[in-house]
Amino acid sequence: METTSSKKREEILDVAEHMIRVAGYNGFSTRGVADAVGIKAASVYYYFPSKPDIGVAVTERYTDRFIESLGDPESFPKKSPKVVKAYIDAFRHALVKDKKLCLCVVLGAESGGLPPDVSHRTKIFFSKNLEWLQTAFKSSFDLKPADSRRRANLVLASVEGGLVLSCSLYDNSIFEDIAASLLNYFNSKSVLPH
């Protein structure tokens, strides 16, 4: 059973995640989070000693939830582009349901100005995503590691870029066009072994 303390901690993380996804790391403050949660700023420090500690916790939680939502990368049918579709759908959720950028897209774009621990956790998000994609490609298509890595890089960069373009231009059809192009590409006989 969740305690009041752990509920408040999660509420702080929810508010901070929303603020970062909307306005970036520098777009949130401990005081702003406290105001939104309805507590004093000193109370936020009870849970998180500093703003970077909030950033680290938000990024860790987001990464864990995102990777978990993808499921087992070795569960896809053999020679199936469902790997790509499942990955696209995870980002579509951020765009359509959440109506926000992926947290780590925002933080990745700001990585040069982030506190080192937050930047490191953002890197972990991307590393885990690439690892998931590489494992899924290798498992489903028996690809060599270098081939899996290239395809993983292409999919991650395309989907993340499509998300940024769609949000920047307020046009979800851009993401859908990129998603359709990726799926067509990965359905091509010349791209993946059949």
Residues 7-54: tens digit of each pLDDT? 999 999 999 999 999 999 999 999 999 999 999 999 999 999 999 999
99-158 pLDDT, tens digit each? 889 999 999 999 999 999 999 999 999 999 999 999 999 988 888 999 999 999 999 999
Question: What are the chain's domains?
Answer: 53-187 (1.10.357.10)
Comparing CA positions, the residue from 85, 33, 77, 35 lying closest to residue 58 is 33
What's the pLDDT score for residue 176?
A: 96
Comparing CA positions, the residue from 40, 64, 48 lying closest to residue 16 is 48
170-188 pLDDT, tens digit each? 999 999 999 999 999 988 7
> pTM for this one?
0.91
Number of residues that this document lists for the chain: 194
Predicted confidence band at 1 (pLDDT cuts at 50, 70, 90)?
low
